[in-house]
Amino acid sequence: MNNQLTEMFGIEYPIFAFSHCRDVVAAVTNAGGMGVLGALAFSPEELEMELTWIDEHVNGKPYGVDVVMPVKTVDRDRGIDDVSDIGAELRKHISQDHWDYVDKILTDHGVDLEASGKELESGAGIGAGVLGWTAATGSPQIDIALSHPIALLASALGPPPKAAIDQAHAQGVKVAALIGRVEQAVRDVQLGVDIIIAQGYEAGGHTGEVSTMVLVPDVVDAIAPVPVLAAGGVGTGRQMAAGMALGAAGVWTGSIWLTVAENGSSTTVTEKLLAATSTDTVRSRAYTGKPARQLRTAWTDAWEAPESPGTLPMPLQFILNSYAANKMGSKPPRELVGMPVGQIVSRMNQVRSSKAVIQEMVEEYVDTTQRLSADLEV
Ligand SMILES: Cc1cc2nc3c(=O)[nH]c(=O)nc-3n(C[C@H](O)[C@H](O)[C@H](O)COP(=O)(O)O)c2cc1C
């Protein structure tokens, strides 16, 4: 294929793949698309290792890194920025009612709180349940990302800080930002973002309220000629063709990579994803504190129940989640096992290689565009 984005990055297909798994990132990049590693769950040391590994496996082909830089979180609101023990600082803002409610959910599902799991760690990292979405833990990820030969720096829940955008540009790295509303796209372009990822309601992970079908053309028109990637509900060639027909220059995909062979998810999650249909997801604050589409589980239901104390703002809700995950250990009750995934989960019915996903998507895209063109012939 040949368009604005394939030329910009020297890639074969304008298919961008978000994944937390380095193997998927490298496989997509090597198959002619652009793999983008989600940095959120990695400590700075781990991220350094992951990116070094990718550098060694893509032979100079372009890949990207995605960070999450929420404009609004409890740490920013309250000026908590001491990274040495941000986990403990943030936990002070979680009420006893919330800890008790998590314990109740776990015991209701047979988890023995005394026998299983370990307590949350102190510090700032994944063990403390903080991840990269505080300002203090997200910034080092950007520095590490920019110390590798990446082609794209993407960010969700807000644009990267202006200084990071400028540094990226100085190094020839393009900057992309995920948005769910037209105003956010306009704001990010004004800040210097090069590519807007217009992500609709049906997407996995944090998502807004406007569907992909409506959002993409509105964003394309609002920020032309800045290129737009259509995201949310894209996992096949027909969906890719739909995104391009809406005016996007490429597609940004996430969920579809959760069930590829290179992704090392647990068997229970993979089984649930392969079996799920498009009505088995829910947009809920139960995972992170911000609305995120995920598998509907006993955990998401519990936070909707009348006795729920209500979810907490980001990143406190995820600290509760991490506590629960630690308590459940390696054999969590099946009904509590979930993860972010979009409505496209209905199409994730078998484990394929990343290369096969790209090839099938491109073949179906070509068939679709030919079928549509043939309709015009007289
Ligand atoms: C498991 C999972 C985790 C995600 N985490 C992030 C993230 O950390 N940063 C981000 O920018 N987007 C994240 N997303 C959203 C994806 O980047 C992408 O926009 C979305 O998956 C596209 O919609 P789709 O799921 O229908 O393909 C996540 C999506 C999933 C499924």
With bands split at pLDDT 50, 70 and 90, how would you rate the model's confidence at 265? confident
In contact, 230 and 212? CB cutoff 8 Å = yes
Summarised one tens digit per residue, pLDDT across range 142-155 is 999 999 999 999 99
Question: 255 C-alpha to center of ligand 1: Å?
Answer: 7
208 lines ligand 1 (CB under 6 A): no
Indicate the length of the chain as a whole number: 378
234 lines ligand 1 (CB under 6 A): yes
What spatial distance separates the first Cα and last Cα of the chain, rounded to whole Å?
A: 26
pTM of the model: 0.96
Helices (H), 192-279: 212-223, 237-245, 267-275
Q: Which residue has the tokens 């314990």?
A: 103
Q: Which residue has the tokens 């800890």?
A: 99
Give the pLDDT confidence score for residue 139 in this predicted structure: 85
Q: Which of 43-47, 75-79, 272-276 has the highest mean pLDDT?
A: 272-276
237 lines ligand 1 (CB under 6 A): no
Residue located nearest, by CA, to atom 11 of ligand 1: 156
**DSSP element (H, E) containing 367:** helix 354-374
Structure tokens at 306: 């009348």
Question: 79 C-alpha to center of ligand 1: Å?
Answer: 28
Give the pLDDT confidence score for residue 90 in this predicted structure: 87
Q: Is the pLDDT of residue 82 over 80?
A: no
Tell me the average pLDDT across 118-132. Answer: 74
204 lines ligand 1 (CB under 6 A): yes
Question: 64 C-alpha to center of ligand 1: Å?
Answer: 14
Of 128, 157, 153, 129, whose CA–CA distance to 143 is shortest?
A: 153
Tell me the average pLDDT across 55-75. Answer: 89
- Per the prediction, the chain carries an average pLDDT of 93
Give the pLDDT confidence score for residue 176 in this predicted structure: 98
Give the pLDDT confidence score for residue 121 in this predicted structure: 78
205 lines ligand 1 (CB under 6 A): yes
With bands split at pLDDT 50, 70 and 90, how would you rate the model's confidence at 128? confident
More confident residue, 86 or 355: 355
Summarised one tens digit per residue, pLDDT across range 277-294 is 999 999 999 999 999 999
Give the pLDDT confidence score for residue 79 in this predicted structure: 77
Mutate to test the pocket of ligand 1, among 18, 71, 133 (most ligand atoms within 8 A of CB): 18
Q: Of the ranges 78-92, 235-249, 261-275, which one carries the lowest mean pLDDT score?
A: 78-92
Which runs of E-coded beta strand occur in the chain?
15-19, 34-38, 64-68, 152-156, 174-179, 195-199, 205-206, 228-231, 250-253, 281-284, 292-295
Q: Of the ranges 71-80, 97-106, 262-271, which one carries the lowest mean pLDDT score?
A: 71-80
With bands split at pLDDT 50, 70 and 90, how would you rate the model's confidence at 69? confident
Q: Of the ranges 67-71, 101-105, 300-304, 310-314, which one carries the lowest mean pLDDT score?
A: 67-71
In contact, 372 and 281? CB cutoff 8 Å = no
- Residues 6 or more apart whose Cβ sits within 8 Å of residue 306: none
Question: 334 C-alpha to center of ligand 1: Å?
Answer: 23
Residue located nearest, by CA, to atom 4 of ligand 1: 205
> For the chain, which domains are there?
4-73+134-263+348-374 (3.20.20.70), 79-129+280-336 (no CATH)
Tell me the average pLDDT across 364-369. Answer: 98
254 lines ligand 1 (CB under 6 A): yes
Question: 345 C-alpha to center of ligand 1: Å?
Answer: 13
Residue located nearest, by CA, to atom 13 of ligand 1: 205
